[in-house]
Homo-oligomer: A and B are copies of this chain.
Amino acid sequence: MIKIGLLGCGTIGSGVVELISKNSSAAQQILIEKILVRNVEKHINSPYGLKITDKFEDILNSEVDIVVEVMGGIDPAYFYVKQSLLQGKHVVTANKDLIARYGKELQCIARDKGVRLLFEASVGGGIPIIKPLSESLAANNITEIWGIVNGTTNYILSQMYNWGKGFEEALREAQANGYAEANPAADVDGYDAARKLAILSSIAYHKNVNCESIHIEGIRGITSDDIQLAKYLGYTIKLLAVSRKYDDSIMAKVTPFMLKLTHPLAQVGNVYNAIIVKGDAVGDILFYGQGAGKFPTASAVLGDVIDIVKNSISTNRPDNVTPDDLPEANVDIREDECRFFIRISPVDRSAAMGEVVSCFGDCEFIFPNRVKLGKAIEEGQIIVITSRMKEQALTEAVDRLLESGKVNRILNIIRIGEDD
């Protein structure tokens, strides 16, 4: 039997316990030896009562082979995971914050100690993505990742798009349904997606992508006007985590994108996640499923545990990345190109039009010049869809426009995702 020590027994933890007790053939060799909780009293009547402890040392000093960390957060998870690895125990974690921030260091410790550190559940919930990316697609030069990796924001944007709700209303509804936390900042401001992007990109490009270096914009700035305009122009709006490999750098950004309805990610609704990986040999591969939730996440955690159980003969098995060879990535979005949708509030529309054209150059679409838009659009706005241009050029053009004194402000800038 392989003995498990569980750190945390909240939603995911209890999902892991239930899934093991369902006794799938694959889980028959697995025994839960200890469960670390904050409040022992609360678990006194559980069937695992005798295995419950509130002392991490009980796990560290036990005969546990695999430590399963499902408590989340950095402190004390980081300390516990590190100590477990140093003690020669395998670790399975669902903790994206931890892996995004300390993955490289922890991988190095695991390698030095000849144990494994697996974290399939940290991205995409139950969707197999870490292992396919690091193992099945290993023969590829991965060039791009496009993902909807945050269910909360996808739910909110779906509600706004499908039912015309405002951001605040959709957020409240997400909270009422348990899809958003009381403090929704990590989700709606894009940090959660950025952590997942850092993890995926580090594996895909064999460079350590630091979360802090990712360009992040959340969805608080997306208004009903943006959604209505997107709809009018045949687009939907999604929060995407996108990275791309350049010769000397990596582009990584988490921002709202306008997507044509035919784009493979456009139809991914509500709390679902989907990730597209582009490889030079394999082309585009899309993975889709539930990106969160008790049992999908427990499925990924237990999948990692079973992997270790099956392979426990070999403790030298190298995982995913070879951390000491993992150089820091030079993350930079300036050279990245796309089209931009821009809403502008001019001082005087006629007077500002010339300046807009002069700043953004050849545009694919300008309102009010070329078409009529519905009543949705507040009188007096200027709407632009640029040609493909570099991020840096866009920033400079916006600066020039603001300096001209002809516009009050830029109401919004949303990138447009291409469907190749």
Give chain A's interface residues, CB within 8 Å of chain B. 15, 19, 22, 24-27, 120, 126-128, 131-132, 135-141, 206, 264, 267, 279-290, 293, 295-296, 298-303, 305-307, 310-311, 313-314, 316-318
Docked-complex contact A137 and B283, CB < 8 angstroms: no
Docked-complex contact A136 and B132, CB < 8 angstroms: yes
Docked-complex contact B290 and A127, CB < 8 angstroms: no
Roughly how many angstroms separate A128 CA and B24 CA in the complex, as a whole number? 23
Identify A283's interface contact among B126, B206, B283, B284, CB under 8 A. Answer: B126
Name A's interface SS: mixed
Name the B residues within 8 Å of A132 (CB-CB): 128, 131-132, 136
Extra 6 A-B pairs, beta carbons < 8 Å, given A136-B300, A264-B288, A310-B317 = A126-B283, A131-B131, A138-B303, A139-B299, A140-B299, A284-B289
Output the nearest chain B residue to A304 by Cβ-Cβ distance. B136
Docked-complex contact A295 and B281, CB < 8 angstroms: yes
A141: shortest Cβ distance to chain B, in Å? 6
Name the B residues within 8 Å of A281 (CB-CB): 15, 19, 126, 295-296, 298-299, 302
Roughly how many angstroms separate A314 CA and B307 CA in the complex, as a whole number? 14
Name the B residues within 8 Å of A300 (CB-CB): 136, 282
A sample of 16 inter-chain contacts (CB < 8 A) reads: A26-B138, A26-B139, A128-B128, A128-B285, A131-B135, A132-B136, A139-B301, A140-B299, A282-B300, A283-B295, A283-B296, A285-B287, A286-B288, A287-B287, A288-B288, A310-B318
Docked-complex contact B138 and A306, CB < 8 angstroms: yes
The count of identical subunits is 2
Name the B residues within 8 Å of A26 (CB-CB): 138-139
Output the nearest chain B residue to A285 by Cβ-Cβ distance. B289
Name the B residues within 8 Å of A206 (CB-CB): 25
Docked-complex contact A299 and B279, CB < 8 angstroms: yes
Output the nearest chain B residue to A16 by Cβ-Cβ distance. B139
Roughly how many angstroms separate A305 CA and B139 CA in the complex, as a whole number? 9
A90: shortest Cβ distance to chain B, in Å? 15
A107: shortest Cβ distance to chain B, in Å? 15
Docked-complex contact B317 and A299, CB < 8 angstroms: no
Output the nearest chain B residue to A306 by Cβ-Cβ distance. B138
A293: shortest Cβ distance to chain B, in Å? 8
Roughly how many angstroms separate A289 CA and B299 CA in the complex, as a whole number? 23
Roughly how many angstroms separate A131 CA and B285 CA in the complex, as a whole number? 15
Docked-complex contact B137 and A299, CB < 8 angstroms: yes
Roughly how many angstroms separate A374 CA and B24 CA in the complex, as a whole number? 52
A303 in contact with B139 given A286-B287, A286-B288 (CB within 8 Å):
yes
Docked-complex contact B288 and A139, CB < 8 angstroms: no
Output the nearest chain B residue to A290 by Cβ-Cβ distance. B283
The 9 closest A-B pairs by CB, nearest first: A314-B314, A128-B136, A139-B302, A126-B282, A128-B132, A281-B299, A286-B288, A285-B289, A282-B299
